[in-house]
Amino acid sequence: MAKPAAKVRPEHSNYIAGEWVAPRSGSYIENRNPADTRELVGRFPASTAEDVEQAVGVAAETFQKWRKVPAPRRAEILFKAGEILIQRKEAFAIDMTREMGKVLKETRGDVQEAIDMTYFIAGEGRRLHGYTTKAELPNKYAMCSREPIGVCGLITPWNFPMAIPSWKILPALVCGNTVVIKPAEDTPLSTYNFVSALSEAGIPPGVLNIVAGRGVEVGKALLAHEKVRLVSFTGSTEVGRIVGQSCAATDKICSLEMGGKNVIMIMEDADLDLALEGVLWGAFGTTGQRCTAASRVVVHRKVAKKFTSMLANRAKQLRLGPGLNEKTDVGPVINKDASEKILEYVEIGRREDKAKMLCGGRRAEKGDLKYGFFVEPTVFSDVEPHMRIAQEEIFGPVVSVLECRDLDHAIEIANGVKFGLSASIYTRDTNRAFHAMEDVQTGIFYVNASTIGAEVHLPFGGTKSTGNGHREGGTQVLDIFSEWKAVYVDYSGKLQRAQIDT
């Protein structure tokens, strides 16, 4: 079993103006290992609006200097941060497994994603392209450029506790904004590790600040603050709606990344062994707690029976345990509330007359597992599209298998939910793959691969209720964190009237 590398500092502080500052309330939230709650990972500030006020004030002041630092210089600091992250990758992955629960190979992936994003976005410091174009009038020049926005309030979830903060912090900084981030209550340590690396790399005091605490206190205060010009949020649909409404009330730019009900479609010509690996990885990787997790599998009726039994057999064999144990396949879920919510959905599924639960469905409590929040990988078959387990985001190791008649039927089922994040098709027929790619209403689509595995240099985000139209990742993220300025230079030396003025 791997040993925790980072020392446990019992009490962490907020990070404001380059200093570690205790929360004004003097209160802390315990961060415990979800695989074994006897282990205390640390205590993190239960901050209040007063701490937010201080951090936002500092960030607003610092913005005036940071926006003037040339973007390539800002980016140089990110390149240095990338090197630090590489050196600490293993220690950060271990810290993350301890606070979040997912298995080490996945937390290594989470840190790697932050590293990849750091280099990718650092490269953008030398681009941040605008463009020039022709003006309507002679002796007139027209162009547009990206400008920084101001203080960005970032609110992040617990499932990718370093990768998701990196998707937001890095583009915000390279575009010339300053940041106040509120990490998730369950997993603040990974954000602290990431921010520490950036600060060690030379991000000036006040440019990047952390205020840790509860959503209803710190998150709410960020949303209400008039000096916060932009909020970027990833989390549940319920909270995302609150965030969107609050931002509308205070005229903030707002990017929302919310739920998913992702689907894998398996056609009768598919390589079923390959599809099986994709479903196991998509449904039970990160214990099903990814926004892109595959929670619906739509299988052609000719192969449905065979595939479902292959899936249930393998799901039963998955080893539950602490993520630091290299032999573990599936770690715990994040906390007690999550395990209860998942088991409630299992009950909802069991009450459906037609659906059959083929495996799992219980909390795993054997031996030391009883000290953590372990839920057995669960497979339902004979699920129908209208059922709640096929419609609502469960965010746990529960997968529903539905049957389809043909590709059109599969696409109809795929699109019959309110979310639109990720989808995949397994088929050997290229024509069908392209038809599905075009007609499935998601922001991410895979062919012969699972619903997960996004790469940082492509846009990440979803359609419909998954978000509000923005994309993180790719160069598209720069559109969230910068504002366009159109510039006209008239060098005619006389009053020229544009056509719309005449």
293 binds ligand ADP (CB under 6 A): no
* Burial classification of residue 74, based on how many CB atoms lie within 10 Å of its CB (0-12 exposed, 13-18 middle, 19 or more buried): buried
List of E strands, 338-479 = 356-359, 363-364, 374-375, 378-381, 398-404, 419-420, 422-426, 444-447, 463-464
Minimum gap (Å) between residue 185 Cβ and ligand ADP: 5
Q: Which two tokens stand for residue 235?
A: 């989390």
Nearer to ligand ADP, 157 or 461 (CB): 157
Q: Which one, 333 or 410, has the nearer CB to ligand ADP? A: 333
- List the alpha helices (DSSP H) in 318-448: 336-351, 388-391, 407-415, 430-439
Q: Which residues inside 338-367 make contact with ligand ADP, applying CB under 6 A?
A: none
The answer to whether the beta carbons of residues 125 and 174 sit under 8 Å apart is: yes
- Kindly state whether residue 256 participates in binding ligand ADP, applying the rule CB under 6 A: no
Helix axes 104-124 and 71-100, enclosed angle (nearest 10): 170
CB of 426 to ligand ADP, least distance (A): 28
| Residue of 189, 236, 237, 239 whose CA lies nearest to 219 | 239
Q: List 230's β-bridge partners, or say none.
A: 152, 253
| DSSP bridge partners of 147 | 483
Tell me the window of 126-134, 182-190, 407-415, 443-451 that interacts with ligand ADP (CB under 6 A): 182-190
In the complex with ligand ADP, which residue's Cβ is closer, 155 or 264? 155
Q: Residue for token digits 């919510």? A: 341
- Identify whether 438 is a catalytic site residue: no
| Bridge pairing between strands 228-234 and 253-257 | parallel
Q: Cα dist. 251→214, 225, 247, 358 in Å? A: 23, 11, 6, 50
Contact between 465 and ligand ADP (CB under 6 A)? no
CB of 164 to ligand ADP, least distance (A): 10
175 is catalytic: no
From the list 152, 291, 359, 404, the catalytic residue is: 291
- How far is it between the farthest Cα atoms of the chain? 85
- Assess 250 for contact with ligand ADP (CB under 6 A): no
Pick from 98, 182, 300, 471 the residue near ligand ADP by CB under 6 A. Answer: 182
Structure tokens that stand for 290 in this block: 């990814």
* By CB under 6 A, residue 173 contacts ligand ADP: no
Indicate whether 224 belongs to the interface with ligand ADP (CB under 6 A): no
Query: Is residue 235 near ligand ADP by the rule CB under 6 A?
Result: yes
Specify the residue, 184 or 343, whose C-beta has the smaller distance to ligand ADP: 184
236: contact with ligand ADP by CB under 6 A: yes
Smallest gap, in angstroms, from Cβ of residue 125 to ligand ADP? 28
Q: Does 157 bind ligand ADP (CB under 6 A)?
A: yes
Q: Does 433 bind ligand ADP (CB under 6 A)?
A: no
Q: Residues with catalytic annotation?
A: 257, 291
Binding stretches for ligand ADP (CB under 6 A) = 155-158, 182, 184-185, 214-216, 219-220, 223, 235-236, 239, 242-243
